[in-house]
Amino acid sequence: MKRTLALLLCLALLCACAPTLAEGSERYKAVTARFNGQLEKGAVVNVLENNTAIELGYVQQLIDAFNEAYRDQGVSAQIMDIDQYSDLATDGPYGYGPDVWYQANDILMKYATKKHLLPLPVYSLESRDLIPQNAWDAYRMQMYGEDFYCGVPINVQSGMLFYIESMLPDNWQAEWDLNQNGTPDFFETFTALYALSQDIQQNGGKTEYGYLDDLVDVYFSVGYALTYGAYVFGDGNTNPDDIGLAKGDAAKGLYMLRQWAALMNNTEVLDKTFAAAAYAYLAQGKMLCTITTPDVKQMFIRAMVNTGSWTQEEAEADLKMINVPRLPASADLTADAWQDTILDMEGKTVRTKMMGGVNGYGISAYTECPNASLAFVEFATSYEQVMLRNQVLGITPARSDAAAAIGQTDATVQMIFDNLNEGYIDVMPAINETAQIWTPGESFLIDLCTDAFRLSRGEAELYETIEKIQQGLERMVQQIFDAIHTLA
């Protein structure tokens, strides 16, 4: 009960900070006038959804429930092929794009800023006051000097650490719980996780690796820079002329990626296809833990069941998801004894900051059924559907009432909301220029992590010092800057 009350208070404070924006203004009424509440009879709402949600059956359940609820009102919805018509700018004007699109905020807002998505009448939505303002802000866009929103948040995304409890080392309680708090030390600090991973690779264990991950995914790995003072864009992620990915001690933070690459000694971590294999790797014991987003929880469970070693219920009980470990204050995974980072956590470590996102629904500017589309979005973001989406997919809701209900039995939901509220989730910028950070960022991370293998290949190292990593970061920032201004 205390946890629930704390979560509700936290969310109430977030929502209470919402500024007075365009609500009630003549401009707001004009911009959102097409949403007049009159459902377009015979309309079929084309919905482009998340591939995982489709694969696990949630989207079909959502579509079926909506169609049943609106059967008497003459509107329905259908799933679009996720591999087609996902470029709204190209397909939308010709009538081939979706009416409603579920996506991460940075992708949706890339289209919103080019007027391919509609500003929505959010003040009339049932969920308006139930979603924290900083989640709404992920879809905020200024028009005519006023703030409008081009998406309805449904879930919060950020990296979490996944592991299978039965694969923990047998001796962890005796040798890896120095502070006696019931949490394995190697899940509390990255220094301890590095030490465990080294021990497993040298001496063997229940799994082949300790921590194994795709190190070149910017979304997850940029946290090593954000923790030490970097940022994406200046002025609260709104100024693309100020790219902060090389600021602070970002280079020191990213040096740890090179350390991980050298320890893992596995070229799979240099390939983004690792993410698709991670479910089976965890289930089959190739690794003890990895980091990804909560919404793929059921993919791990499915992989566990497919091995034949778990039933559905056993897999759900055995799979665990917790906060990512704390990073060393020194920004060096080998500078301190792992035991010291546990016994002096405040002095030797810092809380990890991760990039995050807010997934939600947007409505195409080219839709011929805006009111039916809005009805679908309201239905999909209702309490009942958000609760079902959590049940099937394991998402963390953006709705405070759903989050509070789930938080009574799932501490992960509160962890994510605490991280968001306390500034340890850096929500992806809601500006079009965000699209230009991914390719240069990934190219740099591949180059950086590959450096761990160059000597063994008879090649010269490029990033063996912090200074050289800083120079590489500055080149990456310049590439991002050039891409933004070339494509602007």
Q: Strand 44-48 relative to strand 100-104: parallel, antiparallel, unpaired?
A: parallel
CB atoms < 10 A from the CB of 151, how many?
32
pLDDT digits (tens, 9 = 90+) for 273-323: 899 999 999 999 999 999 999 888 989 999 999 999 999 999 999 999 999
| pLDDT (0 to 100) of residue 84 | 53
Encoded tokens for 399: 């709705």
Whether the per-residue pLDDT at 3 is higher than 60: the answer is no
pLDDT digits (tens, 9 = 90+) for 200-219: 999 999 999 999 999 999 99
What residue type is assigned to position 38 of the chain? Q
Q: Strand 354-363 relative to strand 152-158: parallel, antiparallel, unpaired?
A: antiparallel
> What percent of the chain is helix, strand and coil (3-state, nearest 5)?
50, 15, 35
pLDDT digits (tens, 9 = 90+) for 81-115: 765 556 777 777 777 889 999 999 988 998 898 89
Report the distance separating Cα 342 and Cα 125, nearest Å.
46
Task: Give every CB contact of residue 52 below 8 A, 6+ residues apart in sequence.
Answer: 295, 296, 298, 299, 393
What residue type is assigned to position 401 of the chain? D
Task: Give every CB contact of residue 97 below 8 A, 6+ residues apart in sequence.
Answer: 46, 48, 85, 87, 88, 91, 364, 366
∠ CA(398), CA(400), CA(406), 5° rounding? 90
Residue bearing the bigger pLDDT, 418 or 242 = 242
pTM: 0.82
Whether the per-residue pLDDT at 16 is higher than 50: the answer is no
Encoded tokens for 395: 């998402």
Please name which of 215, 218, 331 lies closest in space to residue 263, comparing C-alpha atoms: 215
Please name which of 446, 453, 438 lies closest in space to residue 472, comparing C-alpha atoms: 446
The percentage of residues in the chain with a pLDDT greater than 70, rounded to a whole number, is 94
Is residue 402 within 8 A of residue 386, CB to CB? The reply is yes
Report the distance separating Cα 113 and Cα 434, nearest Å.
11
Is residue 324 within 8 A of residue 291, CB to CB? The reply is yes
331-334 CB contacts, 8 Å cutoff, 24+ apart: 331/228, 331/249, 331/252, 331/253, 331/255, 331/256, 332/252, 332/255, 332/256, 332/259, 333/190, 333/191, 333/194, 333/256, 333/259, 333/260, 334/191, 334/194, 334/259
What residue type is assigned to position 35 of the chain? F
